[in-house]
Amino acid sequence: MSQRRQSSKASGLIEEPAAEFFAKTGPLPASFDEIRRHPRFYFRACAEAVIHPLGKRGDAAAPVPCFVLTRDLSRSGMSLLHNAQLFPGQRIDVTLNGEAPRAVEVVWCQRLANKRYVAGCRFLKAPG
């Protein structure tokens, strides 16, 4: 998919201007009561993803390819924006910067607005 088309799909997920959203870089400010093990860094990008349905492997539902916006990442996980609700325990394969897909598991998901959700995900260990 072209960069322009990805950008137009992605811009519907963010409230701030796209240029401002993508311009943020560096470490996120930490609060005094931060309990995370690893610092987070802004990582603003449109990423390819494959969202796997919740449920047992025998379900008829097939994984859904789509695009998500990444917000930040750390050594243990990442935050992303999506246009549909995600659920804790749901697996997503995310392709960052054209590298091999990384599997993440949704830990939490919060509705920001109509068709706009933010999800916190943790990286899953690669098999093997």
**116 part of a folded domain:** yes
**20 part of a folded domain:** yes
- pLDDT value of position 2: 40
Q: Whole domain around residue 21: which residue ranges?
A: 3-28+37-123
* Both structure tokens of 34: 């931060």
pLDDT in tens, 4-35: 444 444 445 666 666 776 666 666 666 656 66
**51 part of a folded domain:** yes
**128 part of a folded domain:** no
d(CA 8, CA 119): 21
CATH value at residue 97: 2.40.10
d(CA 68, CA 121): 13
- pLDDT value of position 37: 65
- pLDDT value of position 106: 97
**98 part of a folded domain:** yes
Q: Is the pLDDT confidence value at 44 over 80?
A: yes
The whole-chain average pLDDT of the chain stands at: 80
d(CA 115, CA 63): 19
Split into its structural domains, the chain has a count of 1
3-state secondary structure 17-66: CHHHHHHCCCECCCCCCCCCCCCCEEEEEEEEEEECCCCCCCCCCCCEEE
**89 part of a folded domain:** yes
d(CA 70, CA 80): 4
Max mean pLDDT range (27-31, 58-62, 65-69) = 65-69
Pairing of strands 64-73, 41-51: antiparallel
